[in-house]
Amino acid sequence: MNNPISHHDASFPGWHGTTIIAVRRGTRTVIAGDGQVSLGPTVVKGAARKVRRLADGRVLAGFAGATADAFTLIERLEAKLEQYPEQLARACVDLAKDWRTDRYLRRLEAMLLVADRSSIFTVTGVGDVLEPEHGVAAVGSGGNFALAAARALLDHTELDAEAVARKAMAIAADICVYTNGNLTVESLD
């Protein structure tokens, strides 16, 4: 008997979409995420909340990918933050190691953007913990569009971090069919 259809099956249309961006300018760090969840060509939800505050509000996290997988990873990240308080890089590296080596976690399909007041990290299931060079990182279907827009805005305007994130997300939503303009924005000053 065949296994039930899963997101690993090429014939399954798959959950698509989201765009998450993290921007730091000056002393302010912002993570913004759109609210669209799509199944194949259908928008099934337009107001999902994909950005969260963790560690008593000291850390921001946004996710792209399978929602249940992302929630599992965020729970694991919260445990790592309790284990390593005030050490975001160490918590992210530890999560990435577990994600890469644990048989159950290896199957999770999501990406995280995590930030505190001084750092931004992209955390992936292949063991990457990447800190951006230019104070901006993005993931998801519209991530490259938002990243390009934010980099240009940071280089050629004096807009604050939140304004850059909002404008970059608006540009991504205009280009990427899996991204909408219904934003969740969290910031740390």
User: CA 102 to CA 186: how far, in whole Å?
Assistant: 31
Q: How far apart are CA 158 and CA 163, in angstroms?
A: 10
Catalytic residue selected from 18, 19, 122, 179? 18
Report residue 16: phi and psi, to 5°. -125, 155
Q: Is 180 helix (H, G, I), strand (E, B) or coil?
A: coil
Q: For residues 86, 87, 89 and 93, what is the CA-based torsion angle, rounded to 10 degrees?
A: -130
Catalytic (active site) residue 18: yes
Known catalytic residues are 18
